Structure 1
């Protein structure tokens, strides 16, 4: 008997672990033990660029991101489940409800030779959520801080149809530019680049197809209504969008992360308007004009991210056909007018002075935990130039410079402030010399989780 026991013990000691038992040992549930909870729930995981697009979840601009595990809500499934093919897992393990939301308040102090003001405003508030069922994600958000009342922002269904192939249908942010991948709320400075706001097509209703060429490239093509969100169709035309995103250094583990982007958005407007361009101080430096006919938006740029440093920039070009209505019928051609053309771009630098790494997917520093002692402080600066006009219009241009501080106090709370300077080419009565400056800042908080996901 003793010899038999010795033989069995030796066999167990020398056998591989997977041969000892066929039952996998489950991971320790999040929050148990004496360690920090965020370290167990994946909030501090390094950037994942090799995640298969067929995994549950997924949208860069409205819901969970397929490529990057950036969820800070602590609701991710354990790795032992996530590594299993979704088709083989029980339905209760593939079904996930997730809430989403954020709120932001802004404060502005502005000075000009004949004008000045101070103001506190609610810059934005969104609430919504979604559900993952295997490879399918449904997502809805409502914008609550609009002068015209609450509005539907995102409402779509996304399907990871095959490895690296994704489909999406509904109302969502059109694929355009580098910052398309990050939430609207997120920027190192209190305001997004002015040229981006002037060129972006915003939310649209349509169908999108995206394909990942492993870690190296992503190609997106979409067809939309072209009239924007929550609007009744006033024409029979459609819009086309295309985007190519490259990561040429993806195969080098220690190299910086380089992202290159080129996008186009083309549509036909009937009885429409060109965008109104608003400066960081809250006044319009160019008002929208009646516009009918072809409209195009182009952008090209990229970003370089290495440890705590980041640099990114984009160039934008807009083209809007215009015509004068001669018969009172907006659906018949009118007399053509000179095209309205806008061009410009921005360059932006950032450095996380407390040492945390910069996440290219969320544009936020990666925190080590949910504790205040691990908060991140980032310094950033931006230079921007944009001009828009036509041969029969005076036109206008703006040059801006900003420098500010972005303090990520917690994974769900940010405080930011910046000093802004701007100069208008065409002086207005309130700003005779066209030059003004001011201070902007604010407080932004994600709640209900999903702080690192796009919207």
Structure 2
């Protein structure tokens, strides 16, 4: 009789200990529904759009291991977003292996996309960021120094299934932070083989500049800065890239390829946001409401306005390539109703350096959207 009682006591103690530690598995649900108005049907149809539906989970069976898996369902076919494992076995170092975001560009890497002050990624991030890749990453956050560093070795193909050639890619980033200020820079290097070049993409994912393919080394550098001053946050980012090109002239992979002129591209953007009501942004979360606000059961939430200006120079320096680019601006007003619900309106205006192939006479374009966001992590 003593043995069953002892086992029962151990089970109860284990269960109470697990509850004290918190849930081992945390679900992830991000949904965003838009009503959009476009400048032309070629860039997108007016009406309601399911912008995002991401579902997944984060599991931590032991303190030193975290497993994350997330998929995007707001597409014709489900797409894998995150599939990686974090190992926290060394103080100040996080090792990660799997399919995950690459380190460069804080707007893309450090924040969940639904928490941005202006919906969707900036033009500069859209153009130059490698997004996700399969690889091994080390993140260094020393407790005694105001530094944060990342080093990643990946495939460079962007595919969760494997590489498209035998060469790896390397990403490195180093940030310095003090108080409400953060400065940093990063570099991405890959040996591409007939991969798409750096193009221009609008917030609704319309590709307005299509560069030729890249075969050879591609180097992307970026620098970024952030200043938090009470309810105001200012972000600045700049990027430059050099893409080598070549082509096969005889169909024989054993013979050398013909070299083509190198392309270069640059981008610059600045964004300012102001939390008119609510707590200032902390880290990479959206603003939270002040304690005790709200009446008649309706949350007052927090209110935030934001503005952005950007410039892209794409496909420069190669005589056989038509250069492109854009100058753009955006405004947004967002009501963060609760910690998991947000509503916002945003407008974007862009001027093309070179009209898109699909719209040979268009120089200006715009997009207006009304967005509802649900985010549960």
**Aligned counterpart, 1:199:** 128
Query: Residue 155 of structure 2 corresponds to which residue in structure 1?
Result: 225
- Alpha carbons of structure 1 residues 156 and 330: separation in structure 2 relative to 1, 3 Å: farther
2:266 is the counterpart of 1:343? yes
Partner Cα separation in structure 2 for residue 350 and residue 312 of structure 1: 9
Partners of 2:43 and 2:156 in 1: how far apart?
38
Task: State the 1:91 CA deviation.
Answer: 6.9
Larger Rg: 1
Q: In proportion to residue count, which structure has more strand?
A: 2
RMSD: 2.5
- The change in CA–CA distance for 1:116 and 1:279 in structure 2 (over 3 A counts) is closer
CA deviation after TM superposition for structure 1 residue 308, in Å: 0.9
1:414 aligned counterpart, secondary structure: strand
CA distance in 2, matches of 1:326, 1:192: 38
Aligned residue for 1:185, secondary structure, equals helix
1:127 CA drift (Å): 0.7
Is residue 212–residue 321 contact of structure 2 (8 Å, CA) maintained in 1? no
* Separation in 2, partners of 1:312, 1:134: 34
Residue by residue over 1:418-448, the C-alpha shift from the partner in whole angstroms, topping out at 9 and shown as x without a partner, is: 122111112357463612333123111113x
Unmatched segments (≥5 aa) in structure 2: 1-15
Distance 1:352 1:380, change over 3 A: same
Structure 1 SS opposite 2:114: coil
Alignment match of 1:277 (pick from 175, 193, 200): 200
Contact 1:104/1:124, CA 8 A, preserved across alignment: yes
Counting only pairs closer than 5 Å after superposition, residues 51-450 of structure 1 correspond to structure 2 as 96-111=24-39, 118-132=46-60, 133-147=62-76, 149-179=77-107, 180-214=109-143, 216-247=146-177, 249-250=178-179, 257-280=180-203, 282-329=205-252, 333-362=256-285, 364-368=286-290, 372-390=298-316, 391=318, 392-428=320-356, 430=359, 432=361, 434-447=363-376, 450=377
How many Å separate the matches in 2 of 1:128 and 1:329? 45
Matched pairs, number: 351
- TM-score (norm. length: structure 2): 0.86
- Structure 1 unmatched ranges of 5 or more: 1-88, 251-256, 451-455
Structure 2 residue matching 1:373: 3-state secondary structure: coil
Residue 275 of structure 1 deviates from its aligned partner by 4.1
Counterpart CA distance in 2 for 1:221 and 1:115 is 37
1:97–1:343 Cα change, 3 Å: same
- Higher RCO (Cα < 8 Å, 6 or more apart): 1
